[in-house]
């Protein structure tokens, strides 16, 4: 069963969205319009004695496009909607931002499963292939009890106990709750701790939580120390496409370290990342749902290692592949696969093929004329290249279609362009109109906009 969308409830980590979210929102504003989507879902769930599946997405989320086209359809999805009450929440809407904050959702798409009592049973963070998603979500739905009950199964070194421990650590990882997961592991008995240390899957999850914690603390040395355990240690051969996420986290965290030190830590990762592209992206049916992350992380790795040839080669291959899948250069059918079309946009930007990128943007806008997304992205791209006069019309085109937090983001770039063009009065007018339309939501983004034209 799918509930109606609310408040226009319609890819990697969402720190920008959460930072611009409802943090600090006065209690009086936590009103029915914010809680209604989940309140209604839980009411329906109680009547049906069914779980609730919350599908968090956003109109700019390329991974969400992938899920919509390749996974959330067909008989498996129809069956899922009979098993659970499904409610979609747009991360850019006030309600979506509110509930993301409540459940510490930090990536899109995310699928949070609640029992009829409102307690979380489990979640899936980021996209999956069809073959991955349905067994994983079915396993979560099959849990009659919640997360606490799963933790209660972990009592000794038995196979049943260590299996539950893997599930607990994976759940902490999906929530990006490194402190909670590591604290839970530390509190276990010596028998459990020893079993976790000997189990490649469980010990890998512990290392992944350590990397998340080090990254959150911006501790470059700690990231450099734990990254080899995650990327090359026991169980690392099971990372699959997740290797891109872990490597990206480690690269970002260690950016301040000397180049030679980073080469020592990461040189061994070129071969497995290039193998991911060759064997799981550039194949007839890619088996990495998030091909973009594999490609961009491989590019970032080659750049960090000073291997310009490898960086260029990776992009050349995936650009050619994307164009071929979309119909071929000069006859691109962008509506054939929006996820792939958006990937092509990113690959061209990474490769700095600006002539091709600037030719692609109007086609993307024409393919999805009702969205604010591509006109905004074109204007932002031009702004970042210093082409302020050219950027302004595209940002103005996107503004009437923007809403929620993205209304404020579009207004921010419009104001910045106008300030660069010495039109401070117009910039203040743009900000004033956006703030009036926004109402009381997203206070941190509001403060940022006000400061821009103060």
> What are the DSSP calls for 370-405, one per residue?
T-SHHHHHHHHHHHHTT-HHHHHHHHHHHGGG--HH
For tokens 């702004």, name the residue. Answer: 383
Q: Which token pair is 376?
A: 């905004």
305, 264 contact by CB (below 8 A): no
Rounded mean pLDDT of 218-230? 98
Q: How many domains does the chain have?
A: 4
Q: pLDDT tier at 40 (50, 70, 90 boundaries)?
A: confident
Q: What is the CATH number of the domain that holds 65?
A: 3.40.30.10
Residue 4 lies in a domain: no
Q: Give pLDDT, residue 21.
A: 44
Q: Mean pLDDT throughout 270-285?
A: 95
Q: Which of 320, 347, 368 is the last residue of a domain?
A: 368
> How confident is the model at residue 202, as a pLDDT?
97
Lowest pLDDT segment from 4-8, 66-70, 442-446 = 4-8
One domain for residues 119 and 185: no
- Asked if residue 223 is part of any domain, the answer here is no
Residues 212 and 252 grouped into a single domain? no
Last residue of a domain, one of 335, 368, 401: 368
Find the mean pLDDT for residues 356-368: 97
pLDDT for res 441 = 86
pLDDT in tens, 123-150: 999 899 999 999 999 988 887 556 778 8
Q: Are residues 57 and 20 in the same domain?
A: yes
So what's the pLDDT on residue 7? 28
Position 32 scores a pLDDT of 56
HSE-up of residue 155 (Cα within 13 Å, Cβ side): 5
Q: Is residue 432 part of a domain?
A: yes
| Residues 361 and 381: beta-carbon distance below 8 Å | yes
In whole angstroms, what is the distance from residue 160 CA to residue 153 CA?
8
**Is residue 450 situated within a structural domain?**
yes
Domain match, 320 and 356 both: yes
Q: Is residue 10 in a domain?
A: no
**Residue 49 or 199, more confident:** 199
pLDDT of residue 145: 59
| Residue 24 in this model has a pLDDT that exceeds 50 | no
Domain that residue 72 falls in: 15-143
Are 115 and 23 found together in one domain? yes
- How many percent of the chain have pLDDT more than 90? 72
Query: How many Å apart are CA 227 and CA 307, to the nearest integer?
Result: 20
**Token pair in block for residue 428:** 């203040």
Question: Of 11-20, 25-34, 315-324, which range is least confident?
Answer: 11-20
* Average confidence (pLDDT) over 5-16: 33
Q: What residues have CB less than 8 Å from 293, skipping those under 6 apart?
A: 12, 241, 244, 245, 248
- For 353, left (φ over 0), alpha (ψ -120 to 50), or beta? beta
Q: Which of 202-206, 210-214, 402-406 has the lowest mean pLDDT?
A: 402-406
pLDDT > 70 fraction of the chain, expressed in percent and rounded: 92
pLDDT above 80 for 20:
no
Q: What pLDDT shows up at residue 39?
A: 87
At 353, the pLDDT band (50, 70, 90 cuts) reads very high
Q: Specify whether the CB–CB gap between 85 and 50 falls below 8 A.
A: yes
> What are the distances in angstroms from CA 65 to CA 86, 100, 102?
18, 19, 25
CATH number at 391 reads 1.25.40.10
Q: Assign 53 to helix, strand or coil.
A: strand
Q: Residue 75 and residue 134: Cα distance in Å, rounded?
A: 11
Shared domain for 304 and 417, answered yes or no, is no
Q: The tokens of 343 are what?
A: 């990937």
Are both 31 and 91 inside the same structural domain? yes
Residue 131 · residue 125 · CB < 8 Å = no
Q: Are residues 343 and 443 in the same domain?
A: no
Indicate the SS3 state at residue 338: helix
Q: Are residues 360 and 268 part of one domain?
A: yes
Give me the mean pLDDT over the 46-51 stretch: 82
Write down the pLDDT at residue 57. Answer: 93
Show which of 368, 384, 401 is a domain's final residue. Answer: 368
pLDDT on residue 222? 98
- pLDDT at position 14 over 80: no
Least confident of 4-8, 66-70, 236-240: 4-8
Per residue in 235-248, pLDDT (tens digit) is 999 999 999 999 99
pLDDT grade, residue 252 (50/70/90)?
A: very high
Q: Is 29's pLDDT higher than 70?
A: no
Confidence check: pLDDT of 30 > 90? no
> Residue 266 falls within a domain, yes or no?
yes
* Rounded distance between C-alpha atoms, residue 65 and residue 56, angstroms: 12
Omega before 395 within 30 of 0, i.e. cis: no
Instruction: Annotate 249-283 with b (16+ C-beta within 10 A) or e (fewer).
Output: bbbebbeebeeeebeebbeebeebbbebbeebbee
In sequence order, what DSSP letters do the residues of 194-250 get, joined into one string? Answer: HHHHH-HHHHHHHHHHHHHHHHHTT-HHHHHHHHHHHHHSTTGGG-GGGHHHHHHHH
CA-based Rg of the chain, rounded to a whole angstrom?
23
Count CB-CB contacts under 10 A for residue 359: 12
Q: How far apart are CA 412 and CA 445, in angstroms?
A: 9
The whole-number pLDDT of residue 342 equals 95
Residue 109 confidence class, pLDDT cut points 50, 70, 90: very high
Per-residue pLDDT band for 306 (boundaries 50, 70, 90) equals very high
Answer yes or no: is 357 within a domain.
yes
Distance in angstroms (rounded) separating the CA atoms of residues 429 and 262:
47
Question: In the numeric block, which tokens belong to residue 336?
Answer: 């054939």
Residue 191 shares a structural domain with residue 244: no
Residue 230 is assigned to a structural domain of this protein: no
Q: Indicate if 130 and 153 belong to the same structural domain.
A: no
| pLDDT of 316 higher than 90 | yes
**Tokens representing residue 304 in the block:** 């960090």
Whether residue 156 sits in one domain with residue 116: no
Q: What is the mean pLDDT of the chain?
A: 89
C-alpha torsion 94→98→104→107, nearest 10: -10
**Cβ neighbours of residue 60 closer than 8 Å, sequence gap 6 or more:** 92, 373, 377, 406
């Amino acid at each position: 069963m799918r509930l109606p969308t609310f408040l226009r409830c319609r890819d990697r980590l969402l720190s920008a969205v959460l930072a611009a979210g409802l943090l600090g929102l006065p209690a009086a504003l936590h009103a029915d319009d914010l809680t209604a989507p989940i309140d209604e879902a839980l009411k329906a769930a109680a009547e049906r004695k069914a779980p609730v599946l919350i599908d968090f997405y956003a109109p700019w989320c390329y991974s969400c496009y992938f899920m919509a086209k390749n996974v959330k359809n067909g008989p498996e999805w129809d069956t899922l909607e009979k098993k659970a009450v499904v409610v979609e929440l747009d991360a850019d809407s006030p309600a979506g931002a509110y509930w993301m904050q409540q459940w510490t959702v930090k990536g899109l798409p995310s699928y949070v499963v609640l029992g009829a009592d409102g307690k979380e049973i489990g979640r899936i963070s980021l996209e999956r292939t069809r073959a991955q998603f349905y067994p994983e979500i079915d396993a979560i739905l099959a849990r009659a009890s919640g997360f606490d009950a799963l933790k209660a199964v972990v009592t000794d070194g038995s196979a049943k106990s260590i299996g539950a421990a893997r599930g607990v650590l994976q759940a902490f990882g999906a929530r990006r709750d490194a402190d909670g997961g590591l604290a839970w592991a530390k509190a276990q008995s010596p028998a459990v701790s020893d079993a976790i240390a000997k189990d490649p899957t469980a010990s890998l999850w512990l290392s992944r939580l350590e990397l998340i914690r080090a990254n959150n603390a911006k501790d470059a040395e700690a990231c450099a120390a734990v990254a080899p355990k995650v990327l090359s240690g026991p169980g690392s051969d099971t990372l699959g496409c997740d290797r891109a996420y872990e490597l990206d986290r480690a690269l970002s965290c260690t950016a301040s370290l000397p180049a030679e030190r980073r080469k020592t830590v990461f040189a061994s990762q070129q071969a497995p990342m290039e193998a991911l592209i060759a064997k799981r992206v550039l194949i007839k049916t890619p088996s990495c749902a998030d091909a973009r992350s594999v490609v961009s992380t491989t590019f970032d790795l080659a750049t960090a290692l000073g291997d310009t040839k490898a960086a260029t080669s990776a992009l050349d291959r995936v650009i050619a592949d994307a164009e071929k899948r979309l119909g071929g250069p000069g006859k691109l059918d962008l509506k054939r696969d929006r996820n792939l079309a958006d990937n092509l946009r990113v690959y061209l930007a990474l490769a700095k093929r600006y002539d091709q990128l600037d030719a692609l943007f109007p086609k993307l806008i024409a393919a999805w004329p009702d969205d604010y997304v591509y006109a905004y992205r074109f204007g932002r791209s031009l702004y970042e290249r210093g082409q302020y006069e050219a950027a302004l019309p595209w940002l103005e085109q996107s503004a009437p279609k923007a809403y929620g937090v993205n209304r404020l983001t579009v207004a921010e770039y419009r104001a910045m362009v106008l300030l660069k063009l010495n039109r401070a009065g117009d910039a203040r007018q743009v900000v004033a109109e956006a703030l009036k339309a926004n109402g009381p939501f997203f206070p941190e983004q509001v403060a940022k906009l006000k400061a821009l034209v103060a």
